[in-house]
Amino acid sequence: MSMNKLAVVALGGNALLRGNQIGTIDEQEQNTFDTLENLVYLIKEGYDIVIGHGNGPQVGNILMRNDAGEHMYQIPQMPLDVCVADSQGGIGYMIERMLRNVLKKHNIQKEVVTLVTCVQVDKDDPAFMDPQKRVGKIYTKEEADKLAADKGWEFKEEVKAHGGWRRVVPSPKPISIMNENVVEALVRQGNIVIAAGGGGVPVYFDEKGDVRPSEAVIDKDLASSLLAARIKADEFYILTDVPYVYINYKKPNEKKLEFLSKADADKYMAEGQFAKGSMAPKIGACLQFIEKGGKKSVITEATKLEDRSYGTKITMEYED
């Protein structure tokens, strides 16, 4: 069994698809290859690695194909949990294949394995009473009303883009990672494991103990953070599109944060320094890892990973 340091790395959506791109497979493969090049540094430093990833644009596209298939060809729509699993498999395959090519380029001998991962949620999580996560395409008010009546979906009005209405689903907190022992065993044997993609497929246990699907999505950073804690990782990384976390962001008194203690991170969260739709969930995921025994969380931009002077490092106390 490997005694190397263990890191869980959560790839942000921009790692696979840039905001100004339409999402062709060529674009996504090149983005993925370029992002994974930055992980070579950790591998050469002797880290064992688990990779998590987002799936927002991809699962949205799957839902749109669902919709088109039903209307044009009477193909039954698949539920959200199947769409999440579909995206996990497709994205995981792409990451695995690109990573094998990166490893070959650098003459690194390692096996890579992708696991479609179920993540347990509480069926009574308050998020089920207040769906907020937008998924899928934008509809007109008439289309949204009909879908709400036919399928029981919930919609919220879009305030961005060109308006319209979009389906919203719950985003419950992850409470356990199924197959976490398998993930830990594989990575401790020196394999690179891709797991809990897109936050994992949300499931719960019914009164009989059977695994049941949940029409929800899970925050991928929270799921990756929980997985990191459960497999006793040393470090947790969130790769995003900025090299640091900031307070007073885009204001005259903007300040980058290179080091954060848990106490200060909690204080800034309480002050509302971090936007709910972007940085706040990432800080929350990093704090969850630290609170559950992790040594260090890092939020940084992928290309800055090797330069340790970049990135916001979050620890229980300030580093020496």
Is 209 annotated in the active site? no
Is 220 annotated in the active site? yes
Please pick, among 92, 200, 220, 311, the residue that the annotation labels catalytic: 220
Radius of gyration of the chain (CA): 20
Q: Compare 242 and 269 and report the one with higher pLDDT.
A: 269
Summarize pLDDT for 149-192 with one digit per residue, the tens. 988 999 999 876 578 998 999 999 999 999 999 999 999 999 99
Domain ranges of the chain: 6-121+175-313, 131-169
Question: CA neighbours within 13 Å on the CB side: how many for 311?
Answer: 23
Reported as a pLDDT band with limits 50, 70 and 90, residue 319 is: low
Please pick, among 66, 92, 133, 313, the residue that the annotation labels catalytic: 133
CATH fold group of domain 6-121+175-313: Carbamate kinase (3.40.1160)
Is 14 annotated in the active site? yes
Reported as a pLDDT band with limits 50, 70 and 90, residue 247 is: very high
CA torsion angle 110 310 320 226 (round to 10): -50
pLDDT reported for residue 58: 87
Please pick, among 4, 5, 14, 173, the residue that the annotation labels catalytic: 14
Looking at residues 112-125, what average pLDDT do you find? 97
Closest CA to 294 of 223, 233, 226: 233
Please pick, among 13, 60, 136, 200, the residue that the annotation labels catalytic: 13
Please pick, among 66, 136, 200, 282, the residue that the annotation labels catalytic: 282
